[in-house]
Amino acid sequence: MIANPYIEKNVVVGPFQCNCKIIVCPVTGESAIIDAGDESEKIIAALEKIEWKSADGKSLKPNVRFLLHTHAHLDHIGGTRGVSEWVSKKEKAAPARALHRGDLFIYEKLQEQGSRFGFTYEPPLPIDHFLEHEERLEIGKLRFSVIHTPGHSPGGVGFRLHEDTSLGVRETVYSGDTLFQGSVGRTDLWGADADLMFKMIKERFLTLDGDTRVCPGHGPETQIGIEKRVNPYVGNQR
């Protein structure tokens, strides 16, 4: 039995029902939030409820180091400012806001994006960490790598959480809006490219082990092997 398995919370936020993930290393308390898309107060409330005991019995709470973004569409970044400001005030240190540079122009147009749907946003806070393909990130003892998957947007990425049996971590990819259960991302938005997206899915997602867990930006989880077999857009891959 694993004494302190890693912590993952899914918070579904906003009118587009974005899956916001809170991921916590149980050893150090360091944590990352993937796609703080909306309803920052809901994400903060979920954070505040997370508490666990260390090996020596001390009570621990998350220490947010990164706000990671799979891409910069409004439903994946709309809560970033509120969460970032709350963490900065509570922990007296700002979390790193991370995005691939290819989506910076979309991120900076958050207010324009919102106006198209009748939503009002404050200007987004600056990005202070630009993600690179195959970059390694460590959140405490948890090991991530970045998979650049342009197509749905120019700077779209997935975050691969590497298996660690000592922490109860299953091989997982947080795929954003590129790969879904039985579907794929739309390609009619700024900088999208359908041919490139399908190429990236096949070369960078479907080459992962078949039992890799897939956590999309919306909707239910799936597995790489299942999508290879039955996804009508990319299935029957060998």
- Has residue 45 been placed in a domain? yes
Q: With pLDDT > 70 as the criterion, what percentage of the chain qualifies? A: 99
Q: Show the low-confidence residues of the chain (pLDDT under 70).
A: 1, 237-238
Q: Is this model's pTM higher than 0.95 or not?
A: yes
- Asked whether residue 201 is assigned to any structural domain, the reply reads yes
Examine residue 73 and state whether it is found in any structural domain, yes or no.
yes
- Domain for residue 235, yes or no? no
CA atoms of 186 and 189, how far apart (whole Å): 8
Q: DSSP string spanning 7-63? A: EEEEEEETTTTEEEEEEE-TTT-EEEEE---S-HHHHHHHHHH--EE-TTS-EE--E
pLDDT at 237: 59
| Domain assignment of residue 236, yes or no | no
Structure tokens given for 31: 């944590």
Domain presence at residue 27: yes
pLDDT digits (tens, 9 = 90+) for 2-43: 778 999 999 999 999 999 999 999 999 999 999 999 999 999
pLDDT at 61 (0 to 100)? 93
* Domain total of the chain: 1
Query: What confidence tens digit (pLDDT) does each residue in 145-172 have?
Result: 999 999 999 999 999 999 999 999 999 9
Domain extent at residue 223: 7-230
Helix 40-49 × helix 80-91 angle, to 10°: 40
CATH assignment at residue 213: 3.60.15.10
What pLDDT is recorded for position 1? 59
